[in-house]
Amino acid sequence: MTQGEITELSTSELIENLDEKVILLDKLNLTHSVSEDENPIRIRYARRTVARIKTELRKRELAEAAK
């Protein structure tokens, strides 16, 4: 998910998407620690997507507080 796609989503969609991505990241990390068959690039991509979503949510929170 790119930054442009993230900014187009509503806040509620971002929160739902964040929950899904965090669960996916946990599963990927568990699978990787047990069998190491998981592609580490997928783990990195999931981690960065979670960070992008959290950043966008924080940016919106600060913009709302500034009003």
Residue-wise pLDDT tens digits, 1-19: 889 999 999 999 999 999 9
Q: What is the rounded average pLDDT of the residues 23-42?
A: 89
| Burial class of residue 37 (count of CB atoms within 10 Å of its CB; 0-12, 13-18, 19+) | exposed
Structure tokens at 67: 């009003």
Architecture of domain 3-66: Orthogonal Bundle (1.10)
Q: What is the rounded average pLDDT of the residues 43-56?
A: 97
Q: Hey, where are the domains in the chain?
A: 3-66
